[in-house]
């Protein structure tokens, strides 16, 4: 039985102004409104939205320099393109579906075509200023929360053509935010790799690439490859391919200059075409997974009017490059011709590839023998497996609107997994229970991993052995105790993913669950605190003599309380790899020999609350 509390009539119908709608529903335009602790937080999307316009100018042959500065929370971006036509400056900043990118003759292969980006920046900023310079004159506009405050013209500016944008993101939309300059630097570097010859200056430091994606791959490998990277460049396509000694695949992908961290149709076509071309060149019917094992590379394409999975543009959905050519055929035909030609000219590379693939095939067949003996164990990684409490909706259910919410919690111990299981949303949240500490997989081969029951079942639950695109959960969340043993388990699991599935980390699927260290309460209120600072603030807020509980393990948190921490208020810390991170070096430092350097690092960086645990 329901109760109607308000009449549904004409008075109930509202029409929001463009900026009000963006401010009330920012997620529709810029993704999440996090505090800046993650690279996909909205404050970085705002920077990208402005930068994309400047990059599009460069791609169209106008302006070879872009300057980006962040001082405290104020961002300024200046390009030297053509500048927005003066009479349209205010409209381009404040009228939805207004812009020059709808005309394909002007911006044929732009990142954004819907006339929303700059308006989203304006609407979500407490202060926004834009000025366009053209032939010595300029038009400027000043806004607050998308509302025009003032505007005007300037004559004889002495400025070069281009556009200047200055804004401060509104802390009412992005509470307690701050910029992580490492995230911005990585974004700027990617733009430089994708736009050879463009000078990008961030806070005075210049980023410029001479060799495009080849620079991206070679500068970030940090380890010897089996053969020199293959760099192929064509009209609207560029790619790099090589193989290392590691496991899995590590492929960066881009569309129209946009870093598609979640891949899409272009990445699938790239992986398929590389395997097919190498197999045909070597005249061997290898498994595609053997060909791609330990492959490292990057691909960038440009398409007309790209269709992305969301406004943040991290996954390409387009099936067509233009009206006549599919993405699959465009990439496949290019790789078939150019990669095959390359291998004919560089027979030494083809020989190395053949040996590498044969080794991968041999290892896979050895693993399959082990798999047969553990077949029943793998079968148990299902809804009825004692280690896996599965959910109903999976990431692979592409048509289901809840697919992106699918989450797997990896936890240790019966009490912790029991609490999460009772608290979770069974539609979208699954729980995988470890028994003790998992195997240190750093110096283990794939064959050895398949002899470990825990990791076999985890691999089966994830469903990524044959193809990463079959991943069953969008978020893989490590949920361990906030003590020394819990931190060790985290490190062991991260090592497993970095070594065998680095692409899952690159695609932003791996997270750490942050659970409260303290509960502070009195008769009226209960506050959960994640660090000492929050605890002291809670004590001050609740007044004299509140009850303080220190949670030493997840099992101490009741199921009712857990609902607070794995629902809407869930705090996740993303495990991420920046462009400068080198996986072999990282694993050797943290999981290799117990060196003095590592001991000193631990002493300098260990949290004070963990030191207490050790003592």
Q: What is the pLDDT of residues 192-201, one digit of tens each?
A: 999 999 999 9
429 and 562 part of one domain? yes
Q: Which of 112-116, 187-191, 570-574 has the highest mean pLDDT?
A: 187-191
- Strands of the sheet with 547-550, listed across from one edge: 526-529, 518-521, 547-550
Report which DSSP code applies to 428.
T
The three-state secondary structure class of 76 is: strand
- Is the pLDDT at 432 greater than 60? The verdict is yes
Give the CATH number, domain containing residue 222. Answer: 3.30.230.10
Report which DSSP code applies to 434.
E
- Is the pLDDT at 2 greater than 60? The verdict is no
Q: Is residue 537 part of a domain?
A: no
Measured CA distances, 597 to 442, 443, 588, 603, 607 (Å): 18, 20, 12, 10, 18
Q: Is residue 609 part of a domain?
A: no
Give me the pLDDT at residue 608, please: 41
Give me the pLDDT at residue 159, please: 94
Give me the pLDDT at residue 573, please: 86
Q: How far apart are CA 241 and CA 355, in angstroms?
A: 16
Q: What is the pLDDT of residues 473-494, one digit of tens each?
A: 999 999 888 777 888 888 888 8
Q: Is residue 456 part of a domain?
A: yes
Number of domains observed in the structure of the chain: 3
- Segment 297-312 mean pLDDT: 80
Q: What is the pLDDT of residues 173-186, one digit of tens each?
A: 998 899 999 899 98
Tokens 């005249």 found at: 283
Give the CATH number, domain containing residue 447. Answer: 3.40.50.670
- Is the pLDDT at 104 greater than 50? The verdict is no
- Is the pLDDT at 299 greater than 90? The verdict is yes
Of all residues in the chain, the percent with pLDDT exceeding 70 is 84
Pairs from 7-10 (Cβ < 8 Å, separation ≥ 24): none
- Is the pLDDT at 363 greater than 90? The verdict is no
Q: Work out the pLDDT band at 300, boundaries 50, 70, 90.
A: very high
Q: Work out the pLDDT band at 465, boundaries 50, 70, 90.
A: confident
309 and 401 part of one domain? no
Give the CATH number, domain containing residue 33. Answer: 3.30.565.10
Q: How far apart are CA 146 and CA 19, in angstroms?
A: 6
- Is the pLDDT at 108 greater than 60? The verdict is no
For the chain, the maximum distance between any two Cα atoms, rounded to a whole number of angstroms, is 81
Give me the pLDDT at residue 34, please: 84
Give the pairing type, strands 250-255 and 295-301.
parallel
Give the pairing type, strands 147-154 and 137-144.
antiparallel
Give me the pLDDT at residue 614, please: 34
Give me the pLDDT at residue 25, please: 80
Q: Which domain holds residue 145?
A: 19-207
Tokens at 231, concatenated: 């760099």
110 and 33 part of one domain? yes
Q: Is residue 485 part of a domain?
A: yes
Q: How far apart are CA 142 and CA 128, in angstroms?
A: 6
- Is the pLDDT at 102 greater than 50? The verdict is no
Q: Is residue 532 part of a domain?
A: no
Give me the pLDDT at residue 83, please: 93
Select the more confidently predicted residue: 348 or 609.
Answer: 348
- Is the pLDDT at 32 greater than 70? The verdict is yes
268 and 338 part of one domain? yes
The three-state secondary structure class of 225 is: coil
Select the more confidently predicted residue: 79 or 107.
Answer: 79
Comparing 326-330, 348-352, 584-588, which segment has the lowest mean pLDDT? 584-588
Q: Which of 86-95, 136-145, 377-386, 575-584 has the highest mean pLDDT?
A: 136-145
Comparing 20-29, 53-62, 369-378, 527-536, which segment has the lowest mean pLDDT? 369-378
Among the listed residues 116, 144, 93, the one whose alpha carbon sits nearest the alpha carbon of residue 31 = 116
Tokens at 443, concatenated: 């110096």
Q: How far apart are CA 549 and CA 313, in angstroms?
A: 43
Q: How far apart are CA 579 and CA 188, in angstroms?
A: 11
* Residues paired with 205 in a beta bridge: 202
User: Domain ends where: 339, 362, 385?
Assistant: 362
Q: Is residue 462 part of a domain?
A: yes
SS3 letters across 351-395:
HHHHHHHHHHHHHHHHHHHHHHHCHHHHHCCCCCCCCEECCCCCC
Let me know if 428 is exposed, middle or buried by CB neighbors in 10 A (0-12, 13-18, 19+). Answer: buried
325 and 453 part of one domain? no
User: Domain ends where: 144, 174, 207?
Assistant: 207
420 and 562 part of one domain? yes
297 and 401 part of one domain? no
Q: How far apart are CA 81 and CA 64, in angstroms?
A: 8
Provide the mean pLDDT of the chain: 83
Q: For residue 360, give every residue at least 6 positions away whose Cβ sits within 8 Å of its Cβ, in sequence order, or none.
A: 289, 290, 291, 293, 294
- Segment 162-179 mean pLDDT: 94
Q: How far apart are CA 215 and CA 547, in angstroms?
A: 57
- Is the pLDDT at 607 greater than 70? The verdict is no
* Residues paired with 154 in a beta bridge: 138
The three-state secondary structure class of 408 is: strand
202 and 218 part of one domain? no
Select the more confidently predicted residue: 128 or 252.
Answer: 128
Rg from Cα positions in the chain: 26
110 and 71 part of one domain? yes
- Segment 131-160 mean pLDDT: 94
Q: How far apart are CA 224 and CA 66, in angstroms?
A: 34
- Is the pLDDT at 382 greater than 50? The verdict is no
Give me the pLDDT at residue 106, please: 42
Give me the pLDDT at residue 578, please: 61
Comparing 146-150, 357-361, 554-558, which segment has the lowest mean pLDDT? 554-558
202 and 251 part of one domain? no
Q: Is residue 112 part of a domain?
A: yes
Among the listed residues 450, 447, 417, 422, the one whose alpha carbon sits nearest the alpha carbon of residue 432 = 417
Give me the pLDDT at residue 98, please: 57
Give me the pLDDT at residue 444, please: 72
Q: How far apart are CA 178 and CA 575, in angstroms?
A: 19
Give me the pLDDT at residue 114, please: 44
120 and 231 part of one domain? no
User: Please, are residues 46 and 30 in contact by the beta-carbon 8 Å criterion?
Assistant: yes
Q: How far apart are CA 12 and CA 16, in angstroms?
A: 13
User: Please, are residues 427 and 407 in contact by the beta-carbon 8 Å criterion?
Assistant: no
Alpha helices in 212-296 (DSSP H): 213-221, 265-282, 288-292
Q: Is residue 520 part of a domain?
A: no
Among the listed residues 447, 288, 283, 285, the one whose alpha carbon sits nearest the alpha carbon of residue 365 = 447
Tokens 């695109």 found at: 469
150 and 46 part of one domain? yes
User: Domain ends where: 207, 240, 274?
Assistant: 207
């Amino acid at each position: 039985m329901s109760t109607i509390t308000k009449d549904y009539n004409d008075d109930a119908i509202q029409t929001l102004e463009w900026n009000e709608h963006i401010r009330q529903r920012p997620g529709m335009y810029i993704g999440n409104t996090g505090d800046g602790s993650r690279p996909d937080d909205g404050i970085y999307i705002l920077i990208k939205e402005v930068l994309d316009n400047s990059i599009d100018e460069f791609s169209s042959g106008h302006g070879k320099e872009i300057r980006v500065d962040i001082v405290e929370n104020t961002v300024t971006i200046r390009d030297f393109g053509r500048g927005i036509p003066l009479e349209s400056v205010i409209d381009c900043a404040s009228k939805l579906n207004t812009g020059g990118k709808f005309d394909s003759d002007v911006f044929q292969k732009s990142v954004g075509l819907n006339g929303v980006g700059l308006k989203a920046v304006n609407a979500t900023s407490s202060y926004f200023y834009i000025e366009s310079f053209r032939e010595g004159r300029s038009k400027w506009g000043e806004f607050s929360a998308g509302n025009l405050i003032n505007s005007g013209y300037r004559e004889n500016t002495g400025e070069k053509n281009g556009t200047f944008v200055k804004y401060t993101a509104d802390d009412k939309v992005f509470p307690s935010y701050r910029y992580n300059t490492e995230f911005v630097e990585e974004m700027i570097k990617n733009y430089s790799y994708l736009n050879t010859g463009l000078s990008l200056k961030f806070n005075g430091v210049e980023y410029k690439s001479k060799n495009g994606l080849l620079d991206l791959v070679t500068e970030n490998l940090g380890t010897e490859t089996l053969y020199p990277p293959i760099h192929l460049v064509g009209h609207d396509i560029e790619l790099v391919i090589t193989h290392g000694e590691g496991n899995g695949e590590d492929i960066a992908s881009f569309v129209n200059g946009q870093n598609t961290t979640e891949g899409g149709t272009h990445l699938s076509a790239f992986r398929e075409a590389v395997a097919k071309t190498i197999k045909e060149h070597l005249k061997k019917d290898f498994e595609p997974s053997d060909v791609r094992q330990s492959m490292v590379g990057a691909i960038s394409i440009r398409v007309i009017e790209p269709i992305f999975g969301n406004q943040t543009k991290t996954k390409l959905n387009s099936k067509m490059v233009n009206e006549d050519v599919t993405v699959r055929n465009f990439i496949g035909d290019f790789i078939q011709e150019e990669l095959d030609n390359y291998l004919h000219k560089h027979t030494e590379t083809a020989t190395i590839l053949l040996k590498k693939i044969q080794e991968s095939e041999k290892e896979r067949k050895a693993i399959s023998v082990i798999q047969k003996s553990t077949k029943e164990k793998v079968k148990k990684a299902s809804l009825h497996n004692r280690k896996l409490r599965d959910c109903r909706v999976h990431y692979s259910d592409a048509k289901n609107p809840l697919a992106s919410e699918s989450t797997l919690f990896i936890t240790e111990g019966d009490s912790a997994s029991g609490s999460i299981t009772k608290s979770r949303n069974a539609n979208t949240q699954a729980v995988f229970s470890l028994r003790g500490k998992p195997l240190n997989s750093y110096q283990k081969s794939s064959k050895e991993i398949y002899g470990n029951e825990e990791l076999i079942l985890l691999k089966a639950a994830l469903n990524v052995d044959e193809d990463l695109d079959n991943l069953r959960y969008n978020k893989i969340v490590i949920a361990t105790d906030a003590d020394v043993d819990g931190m060790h388990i985290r490190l062991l699991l991260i090592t497993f993913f970095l070594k065998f599935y680095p692409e899952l980390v690159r695609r932003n699927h791996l997270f750490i669950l942050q659970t409260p260290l303290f509960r502070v309460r009195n008769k009226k209120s209960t506050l959960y605190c994640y660090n000492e600072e929050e605890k002291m603030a809670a004590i001050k807020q609740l007044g004299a003599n509140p009850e303080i509980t220190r949670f030493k393990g997840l099992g101490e948190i009741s199921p009712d309380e857990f609902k607070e921490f794995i629902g809407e208020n869930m705090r996740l810390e993303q495990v991420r790899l920046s462009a400068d991170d080198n996986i072999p070096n990282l694993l050797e430092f943290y999981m290799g020999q117990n060196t003095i350097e590592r001991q000193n690092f631990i002493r300098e960086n260990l949290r004070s609350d963990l030191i207490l645990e050790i003592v």
